[in-house]
Amino acid sequence: MPERIPVAHLVNYGYEGEIVLLTQITPPAVLPAGEMPLRADVNWLVCQKECIPGEATVDLALPGGMGEVDQATASAFEAARQQVAQPSPWPACHSRPAGCC
């Protein structure tokens, strides 16, 4: 989850250190044999006193098949999932239309 980062009289939200950003990837119905390439175009801001934009295209070759994930990787993903905000179980509304609140 993003952290509060105070900057003078303002507060920014961002990340420090190593992070895990979760996204859903849907593979094709039929997986090809061998490695499967995965590519993403990413951009970011590095901020301290000023923000400097960065961007890159990153590539990863995933092994074919449904192999086992090592424990360190599985633990990192599970910890990231635990930090994802969940919807509130309580109903809320801003005005009082019929049937609300």
pLDDT in tens, 6-62: 878 888 888 888 888 888 888 778 777 788 888 999 998 888 778 899 999 999 888
Among the listed residues 38, 75, 71, the one whose alpha carbon sits nearest the alpha carbon of residue 57: 38
How many C-beta neighbours within 10 Å does residue 12 have?
Answer: 13
Q: 0.75 cut: is pTM over it?
A: no
